[in-house]
Structure 1
Amino acid sequence: MTSVNLLHARAKMPQPMEESPSSLRTIRFTNLGDLIRAIDAAPGDALRVTNVSPTVFKGLDEGYETHKIRLSVYNEDCQCLMITVPTLVHEELGGTLYGQLYDHIVRMGLGQRWAYKGHATFYNTRHSTRSTGAKQADSSGGPREGRPRPRWPTIVFDAGYSQTLKDMRAKARAWFADSDHKVKIVILSKLVPEQRKLIIERWEERQDGGVVQVPGCQQRITIAGSWVNPSAYQVVESSDLILSFQLLFLRDPGPGEGDVIIPIAWMKQHAQQVWETWDEVNEESGEWLEGRCIMLES
């Protein structure tokens, strides 16, 4: 068996999803120069940084325009910071789905009543039982209307392939709690390189006993690709992605308005395009820059 075929044979072996290894690198903050060099050398789309004081975090956040450091989530209690490394794959994974949402909003004639909040920094609502800190989404947005005008987005998109799905789900739960439940929908897009899968989860809160709001995954879409060339993509579970108009705009829909429905056929094409970008990036480099094995000669 050739080296390439051996790699593919190993990749096709069934692996429990929750046991997929994390390629996340962790460093200790020393100075800005070393941090920037670590980001440039990061093997994936995220980097965990420890020893980040509130003063250092404030400087990194305020210096975004200069240093272009994409912050993901900061916990002041443990002084830990997650940084997003904007690789080509990450940007396509995190931005394309939001673009589809916005297209639907424009077609309903609501483009001017929707605010794109991008990956602006949102500081946690302070509570005695909650850690202080801040978050940035890969993409986010919300309605312009409201008294007072909504500051938090109603929907956020978080994408990745270096972080584990468990860590991404923890961040989804935190978006609801830390915004004091002003965030209504969290969309997770998780690429699983070892299994050539794209997992998309829609998280919302539900009432428990009529009082407590409990976040949970309300819809899961899994699209799996084969290792043959060209690869074929199959929807393993779920159907069209449905985003509630009421949760997006904080009101009932009017005439010509309704839930945003992103067809599963589009999701399948999206998965194929993301993997094509993944393959192009890694085949050009000839090494595991984004989680893929070195292409060996037979």
Structure 2
Amino acid sequence: MEFTDSLQPSLSTQPSLSTAATSITSDEQVPVVKFTTIKELFQEINATSSDVLIVSDISPNDVNEIHRARDEACRGFRLSYLEPSTKRLEITIPNSPHEAAHGAIYAFITHKMITMGLASRWKVEGATRYTSTQNNNSEAESDSAGKPIPDRPRNGWPTLVIEAGYSQSLASLRSKMEWWFDASNHEVKIVLLVKANRVQQSILIERWEEGPSTAPRPGATTTRSVTSTIGPNCRQEITITKDTSSSPPQYQVNSTDLVLSFRLLFLREPGPQEGDIVVTTAELQLCAAQIWYDVV
């Protein structure tokens, strides 16, 4: 069974919960299974070495039962994305590089907030379950997320979401990024994507926001630009590469610091001693070291 590198693939029917391999990156295989029972699904989750599992032929009622069984069994996987119209569920099975890919960056972000005295003004949402009534009742659980309090109400959407991928493809991550903006009715303000590539020993970080952006005209000077359509725009792209010729390995960052808008995160202008959240290139190198620490 094969599908294109997107968040909503076309899945063929299988007679049983048998694993199929779908190539979505040059170096990883993502298993695809047809849902039959929760017991068999748990067995597939236990058996896979991937950090993502695609489940087909599944209903919202099935997903509610999986939520209940997962919580009762204290299982750590996340029901990352459900699209009822395609009967497709994406499950994240945390492994070391996947968790470091979002957790390390989020830790630096919250540390910056704490040093600004904002510990009581930011709520860590983690993998909270969000359902979109305007988007076919689709639902998702982020890798990391957070929102300002009390500016964003209880049960309100986060302003920041981080999605990580190790086996999961970049195209799939980008599709989920679009879902967060659309499903939240644009209440999500920033989505960070962190994609680790095991073969290339590289990490790509993309910072996405909505709204108009300017881009150079093809063949024009940098002083002449056009405004793109309003929608998700990649505001910053950072690549971190691992240099294995040195011991310990060194990490090269091809960009400036990662900068997150205070206004978008906290839904207000910064006050005294407050400002944009800046994760420095040195801190990004530390994040990369954590991502690859347990990868041979």
Same fold per superposition (TM over 0.5): yes
Deviations 1:199-233 (A, max 9, x none): 11111112379996310211111111134463633
What are the within-5 Å matches in structure 2 for residues 215-234 of structure 1? 215-228=232-245, 230=247, 232-234=249-251
Residue 295 of structure 2, aligned match among 278, 282, 287: 278
Three-state SS of the structure 2 residue aligned to 1:141 is: strand
Residue 204 of structure 1, aligned match among 205, 209, 215: 209
Q: For residue 140 of structure 1, what is the aligned residue in structure 2?
A: 145
Moved over 4 A (4+): 147-150, 208-212
Q: For residue 63 of structure 2, what is the aligned residue in structure 1?
A: 57
Q: For residue 33 of structure 1, what is the aligned residue in structure 2?
A: 39
Q: For residue 160 of structure 2, what is the aligned residue in structure 1?
A: 155
RMSD: 2.2
What are the within-5 Å matches in structure 2 for residues 1-298 of structure 1? 20-67=26-73, 68=75, 69-126=77-134, 130-146=135-151, 148-149=153-154, 151-207=156-212, 213-228=230-245, 230=247, 232-235=249-252, 237-279=254-296
Q: For residue 8 of structure 2, what is the aligned residue in structure 1?
A: none
AA in 1 matched with 2:210: E
Q: C-alpha separation between the residues in 2 aligned to 1:215 and 1:147?
A: 21
Three-state SS of the structure 2 residue aligned to 1:103 is: helix
8 Å Cα contact 1:100/1:262 also seen in 2: yes
8 Å Cα contact 2:157/2:187 also seen in 1: yes
| Deviation of the 1:160 alpha carbon | 1.5
TM-score by length of 2: 0.82
AA in 2 matched with 1:266: E
Query: For this pair of structures, how many residues does the alignment match?
Result: 259
Q: C-alpha separation between the residues in 1 aligned to 2:81 and 2:61?
A: 15
Three-state SS of the structure 1 residue aligned to 2:295 is: helix
Q: Tell me: CA distance 1:206–1:22, structure 2 relative to 1, closer, same or farther (3 Å).
A: farther
| Deviation of the 1:64 alpha carbon | 3.5
TM-score by length of 1: 0.81
Q: C-alpha separation between the residues in 2 aligned to 1:222 and 1:260?
A: 19
Deviations 1:242-279 (A, max 9, x none): 00000000000011110000001110121122212222
| Deviation of the 1:146 alpha carbon | 2.4
Give the percent of matched residue pairs that are identical in Structure 1 and Structure 2: 36
Structure 1: 5+ residue stretches without partners: 1-17, 280-298
